Amino acid sequence: MLAMVRFLVLLAMTAGFILAPTATASPAGPCEWVTTAEAADILRQPVVATPILDDPASPELSCGYRGTDGGGDGVESDLRSPGAFKVDAMTQFAKAATTDGATEVGGLGLKAVCIYEPTTTPPSSTVVVQLSGDRLYRATGWYAKSCDTLARFARLAIGRIGQ
């Protein structure tokens, strides 16, 4: 009987470790990486979140956060996994990092840069973060959001999708 109790306790402990959620478990969809309340705090205005690419089988997932004031201001939060680019994430990141005006951003993923893109429509800034598992995370702010603003988005999202 004692052997059976020990076995059941061991089984329960093992199941608990196997079933326990991890800190890097990805939420169900890209609009859950940064909540609308968090986005509103960062953008200093009420926002709506709209999935852009949210098929879990896709190598690219993204969500757009737009201010509700009608000004067109917002941020796109984007995760690219293997299969989303023609090359690997490291090569894609290296290309982004050598763009004119790219500046290093500390404390995000394996490496991160912020790129100002004045000639895009609308003008924008993007924080590009190299992650483990051959992945890239990008936060793009329309109308040239500051690198600090985009880095705040990136920190929240990466905290939920994993480095």
What is the predicted pLDDT for the residue at 24? 39
Tell me how far apart the alpha carbons of residues 135 and 80 are, in angstroms, rounded to a whole number.
6
What is the predicted pLDDT for the residue at 7? 35
What is the predicted pLDDT for the residue at 142? 86
Residue 141 carries which DSSP code?
E
What is the domain count for the chain? 1
Q: Is 119 a domain residue?
A: yes
Tell me how far apart the alpha carbons of residues 133 and 111 are, in angstroms, rounded to a whole number.
13
What is the predicted pLDDT for the residue at 23? 35
Over the chain (163 residues), what is each successive 10-residue block's mean pLDDT?
Answer: 38 37 54 95 93 89 89 88 91 93 95 92 92 96 89 96 90
DSSP per-residue letters across 48-97: EEEEEE--TTSSEEEEEEEETTSS--EEEEEEE-TTSSSS-HHHHHHHHH
What is the predicted pLDDT for the residue at 129? 98
Give the residues across from 51 on adjacent strands.
Answer: 63
Q: Is 8 a domain residue?
A: no
Q: Is 96 a domain residue?
A: yes
What range defines the domain where residue 63 resides? 24-161
Tell me how far apart the alpha carbons of residues 97 and 35 are, in angstroms, rounded to a whole number.
28
- Conformational region of residue 47, where left means phi above 0, alpha means psi within -120 to 50, and beta covers everything else: beta
The CATH number of residue 48's host domain is 3.40.1000.10
Q: Is 16 a domain residue?
A: no
Q: Is 144 a domain residue?
A: yes
Q: Which residues have C-beta within 8 Å of that of residue 96, sequence separation ≥ 6?
A: 102, 113, 115, 126, 128
